[in-house]
Structure 1
Amino acid sequence: MELERAVDTYLRHVALERGLSDHTVAAYRRDLEVYTAWLRARGVIDAEAVTAELVAAFGAERASADPPPAASSLARLQSSVRGLHRFLVREGRTEADPSGRLRPPKTPRRLPKALTVTQIDELLDAAGPAPGSPDASVAEPVAVRDRALLELLYATGARVSEIVQLDLDDLSHGDLLRVRGKGDKERIVPVGSYARAAVEAYATRVRPALAARGRATPRLFLGVRGAPLSRQSAWLIIQAAADRAALTAHVSPHTLRHSFATHLLQGGADVRVVQELLGHASVATTQIYTHVSVDALRDVYATAHPRAR
């Protein structure tokens, strides 16, 4: 089977049958374009002609590139190559998997950086006034929207891609929010009173005017022209609020997700409950957050143990 056709077939499979996001599929495509171009330069255009030696040489050459790639990028690239060849074997398109001995590099596990509760308050206030505050009645419409967006991100720990895909109907469960995560899997996440008030203020006072500027859409969060808010726009909204709050720490949409998980665990939440709220397939992914609270554990130990000092 011709390599380029094999890649297209594989990408259709991961998009349609495995339900991977457009962002993930695009990353796979970029990786496999690099791989097939490398093979074509060596005269290999058919999937059956790829050998284990070629795959190993490709991996070694990428790993020794100058400048060296990040371990995470190299691991994803190798994962894309392995996924392609395993798929071709399963589908009977090739007889053997030449990537079987390809081993991704070990990526360092970095502790996620979370904001303090005080920093979260400063970020939210910089996005827009809280509902019911003296400034709320004269706030700019986009400030009301931005406050609702950030409140909901922090209150639910949802990914920014999940928040911008929310429809109005996803809010029709009282204090529960229906979130569609990776692989189009749904989960239900509680929403606290602060976020509910902010979203209600936006949905009743601001969204109708924004919706009138564009085509009809069920999306909850809209841009100034009435179109659904994009991930990139949400990122810029968070960056602008962080700049106004003069936060020195790097703040991204994922920072709010990290902060959500960290603050729950510091407050005594069970790690498996946090796993469910975050939509992690494995509790091992969630357990990284348990290491973030080492300083808190040290403080408790120093305060509580009679021979700590």
Structure 2
Amino acid sequence: MSELFVEAGRDWIAERRAVGRTISVSTEKAYRADLATWARYLEAQIGTQPTVEDLSGTTIKASLAEMNNAGLSPATRRRLLTTLRGLCRYLVLESRLSADPTAPIQAPRAPSRLPVAFTDGQISDLLTTAQTEDPQARPPAPLLDTAIVLILAAGGLRASEAADLKLNDYRQGDDPSLRVLGKGRKTRVVPLDAGVAEQIDAYLTWRAERVTADVDAGPLLIRPDGRPHTRDTISYRVNRLYVRSGIAKPEGEAAHALRHTYALSMVDLGVPISEVQQLLGHESIATTGIYLKASASHLRAAAAAPSAARLLASKPAPPREA
């Protein structure tokens, strides 16, 4: 009997843990979601539950085409193909697949675009909205919304990292900071402004009223009912703030635009790119380097803004002296 695709996927994820290649809970969750998506599209192609033997180049390409027709972005299809490549390579090494059917398949090309960041005015509007009770929320939680915006925009955290924060990861006092567990299980310390820490302290008072038997290892960010936040619930609250403040939702993950804003502000302030890399938790400095390009683009736009520049552009050049 042929091996089911879903069972092979479970084995692959288990093998990654067993050989010491530690993966975070959020990464494992993402792998499972990607493999479930593949199982759904493969089944649509063959009409039954897919098996390992069904992993052919033809079937995979047809599934990718259907993903495109369904409106999945190039970035999403690239990620899905990367996950499937990992599974197929594992199956080849285990002699459960004779060859890697994904090897000749080119990944969808993601459109080249610079990170989107918000202006100071937009961040101010977002904070003002967060500090105002949401009339549709049951119950409203302005202190929570404010803490989320500040942790993302003034700490540069990913939404998943914010969800994973524990109570004892927040350091109060003269040098407030957050201890962040990022990708690859790597820990970094992000310093916080005193004003930001003051707002988080106010949130902690709200939090204490909702958590009766608390421990330092409990989640820092909780929902109004006391349950911990997830990446998705944080993104939902941020999206809700965009709607309420009239700010257009940026393309891609909404909460990530606040991280982009943090990174660009660091670059614009002249913080060395190597330090920005550490603050963001990037494994490669090449990933951080895109903010240098984005910052230069912002500066060029700013240089064209003064009235003198516009006046010069609208007038003919003066004649040169003989």
Task: Give the shorter-chain TM-score range.
Answer: 0.7 to 0.9
Partner of 2:191 in structure 1? 190
Amino acid aligned to 1:241: L
Code of the residue aligned with 2:185 in structure 1: it is D
SS at match of 1:210: coil
Residue equivalent to 1:295 = 298
- Quickly say closer, same or farther: Cα 1:184–1:126, change in 2 above 3 A: same
Question: Are 2:247 and 1:247 aligned?
Answer: yes
Residue of structure 2 in register with 1:99 after alignment: 102
Q: How does 1:41-52 map to 2 (within 5 A)?
A: 41=47, 45=51, 47=52, 49=53
Task: State the partner residue of 2:11.
Answer: 9
* In structure 2, C-alpha distance between the alignment counterparts of 1:247 and 1:60, rounded to whole Å: 38
Query: Which residue matches 1:157?
Result: 156
**Is the CA contact 1:271–1:286 (under 8 Å) kept in the aligned structure 2?**
yes
Quick one: which of 259, 269, 272 aligns to 1:270?
Answer: 272
Report deviation, 1:206: 1.2
Deviation digits for residues 1-49 of structure 1, max 9, x if unmatched?
Answer: 724332220132346644042431233322441465368559984x4x5
Given the superposition, is the C-alpha separation of residues 229 and 249 from structure 1 closer, same or farther in structure 2, using an over 3 Å criterion?
closer
Structure 1 counterpart of 2:218, one-letter code: P
Paired residues in the alignment total: 290
What is the rounded CA distance, in whole Å, between the counterparts of 1:119 and 1:302 in structure 2?
Answer: 18
The answer to whether structure 1 residue 282 and structure 2 residue 284 are counterparts is yes
Structure 1, residues 211-241: CA drift from partner, whole Å, max 9, x if none? 13x8867111221121212333322332333
Q: Which residue of 1 aligns with 2:224?
A: 224
Q: CA separation in 2, counterparts of 1:31 and 1:119? A: 36
The offset of 1:257, in angstroms, is: 0.7
Paired with 1:259 and 1:280, the residues of 2 have a C-alpha distance of: 16
Structure 2 distance, partners of 1:165, 1:8, is 24
Within 2, Cα distance between the matches of 1:91 and 1:265?
A: 46
d(CA) in 2 for partners of 1:144, 1:29: 37
Q: Does 1:88 align with 2:94?
A: no
Residue number in structure 1 paired with 2:131: 128
For 1:209-220, what aligned pairs fall within 5 Å after superposition? 209-212=209-212, 218-220=218-220
- Tell me what 1:108 maps to: 111
Aligned with 2:180: secondary structure? strand
TM-score for the superposition, normalised by structure 2: 0.77
Instruction: Kindly provide the amino acid, as one letter, of the partner of residue 241 in structure 2.
Output: A
- 1:210 maps to amino acid: R
Comparing 182-191 and 90-99, the one that deviates more = 90-99
In the other structure, the counterpart of 1:206 is 206
Q: Quick check: 6-15 or 274-283, which moved more?
A: 6-15
Distance 1:235 1:78, change over 3 A: closer
Is the CA contact 1:128–1:144 (under 8 Å) kept in the aligned structure 2? Answer: yes
2: CA distance between counterparts of 1:233 and 1:43?
Answer: 32
Kindly indicate whether the alpha-carbon contact (under 8 Å) linking 1:62 and 1:74 is maintained by their aligned counterparts in 2.
Answer: no
Match of 1:26 in 2: 32
Shift of 1:69: 4.5
TM-score, with length taken from structure 1: 0.80
Task: Label 1:300 to 1:127 Cα distance change in 2 as closer, same or farther (>3 A).
Answer: same
Q: Deviations over 1:142-200 (max 9, x none)?
A: 22222122112111100111112211111137422110112322111111112111111
**RMSD over aligned Cα, in angstroms?**
3.3
User: Which is worse superposed, 170-179 or 113-122?
Assistant: 170-179
Q: Which amino acid aligns with 1:106?
A: R
Moved more, 257-266 or 145-154: 145-154
Measured against aligned partners, the alpha-carbon deviations of 1:31-83 in whole angstroms (never above 9, x if no partner) come to: 441465368559984x4x567xx32x124323443456532233223222221
Contact 2:273/2:288, CA 8 A, preserved across alignment: yes
Contact 2:158 2:259 in 1 (8 A): yes
Give the structure 2 partner of residue 79 of structure 1: 82
The whole-number CA distance in structure 2 between the counterparts of 1:240 and 1:96 is 47
Q: CA deviation at 1:209?
A: 0.5
The structure-2 alpha-carbon separation of the partners of 1:178 and 1:299, relative to structure 1 and needing over 3 Å to count, comes to same
